[in-house]
Structure 1
Amino acid sequence: MNSASDPEGSGRLVLAATPLGQVEDASARLRAALATADVVAAEDTRRTKQLASSLGVTITGRVVSFYDAVEVARAPGLVADVAAGATVLLVTDAGMPSVSDPGYRLVVACVDAGLAVTCLPGPSAVTTALALSGIPCERFCFDGFPPRKSGARRTWLAQLRHESRACVFFEAPHRIAACLDDAVAVLGGERRAAVCRELTKTYEEVRRGTLAELAAWAADGLRGEITVVLAGAEPQAPPGAEVLVARVRELVATGVRLKDACGQVATAAGSSRNELYEAVLAARG
């Protein structure tokens, strides 16, 4: 069993959220960690040093780069540092490490080695966008970045057609217009959403409306970092008996036994298999 607590004198991996845009959002714990960590693993070492300078903090530990392309290669060395008793601070360019940013593999490696892992909470584009969206978000899912190509993106969107939870995802500014067009085609223009741009920064903008309205607004492209919140699908009324009977007939026409077809359709619809079977027989009569 692994524990987040670390005995005195042992090393630990510290995941730290960094400001999305406003330096003032940095926590006191982040400032202290930047100043005292033995090793600072940074997605972009230049940006991390600029952040420290803006905070009036001097980084005294060793600074190493830790971005997507080197994550696998660098992880063993950082695990060894933690095992040797060092405090390794992991920071990304903005927001929380591991959330569509480097970090997951290093966390798993430390956990597998029985080493302590802890977190300094702070800014997250996911929860910030949810709070600003005006969309019900008691339950939500996060889906990272959509596929880049339209065909794969439409397949991904089709999976959200009946998703009752709000869905948050990131998108690149040069792909947001095409993404919203695909969303209209797959999900319908009336589904509500919010497009959040440059969160917490000088030119922060949040547009709320239907997918059709947002697609028209973004048609010429947008700038900045973008987070989208898609409203959950409205509950669908269960299909009537005639629809279920028709589905059974379709399956039977393909060679499925009548009772098996009734079982499959009833299970999918949350209905009684016996009642559906009787309805099919009655329809035949």
Structure 2
Amino acid sequence: MKDQKVTSHGQNFNELKSRFQSNIYGTPKGKLRLDLIQEDFELYFVPEVAEKKLRVLDVGCGDAIFSMRLANQCHQLTLTDISTDMLDAAAGRAKSEGVSEERLTYHQGPLQEVLPAISSSFDLVIAHAVLEWVDEPAEALALIASKVAPGGWLSLAFYNENGLTYRNLLQGNFKKLKKGDWDQRKGGLTPQNPIPPDLVYDILQEANFEQVCRRGIRTFYDFMQRHVREGRSYEDVLEMERRYSTTEPFLSIARYIHVLYRRPD
């Protein structure tokens, strides 16, 4: 497969691996995302699955920094990504963490091609920061949801259009908002297609999924002035993010939104 950054199916992170890892997960904003999503799992998911060994699918896995925690708990993990570089990074993470290769399966390619080729369904499907990178997010979400087994779980984290709108209002980017064109730099790490939250909620409600929890990720951190942000400890920021992340209106203007859904048996 040719290493290209942008395809008809969305963003390909080949050749961007180092920037992705350092600019996202190597920063407090990336750590906030991981810690708050992990908290949702600890509160709602872990008590329900108890000691079960699960089949887990991570769509657009990147370097699998979140889902590899599940493989470390002896769950069976299937990883998909359009980027060969990211799958290599996920394999490197698995090796460094001592995860048995027998618990891991890899599929490289666009989710629109890979998911229909996977015949099995899964107890947990993860799609974190995926929908905003594809050309047709509604179709992609329906496809992702179709891989959840009856009684299974779906974990979505998506780049929130409300948060981006609010940020542009604060910056006075009125022309951009009137045009409805985010005009992001192609090939960069800023998503091209911010997601309206109601798009997600409506599609999954229509598919009879039950929403278990909803949380804003970085409800205020990205809006802070730099000198203020740098003057606060990570622990203090996490405490306040935790306090406001499940409360409106802060939840709905967060940079990202994380939701856990359950598919009926």
TM-score (norm. length: structure 2): 0.34
Tell me which structure has the larger Cα radius of gyration: 1
TM-score (norm. length: structure 1): 0.32
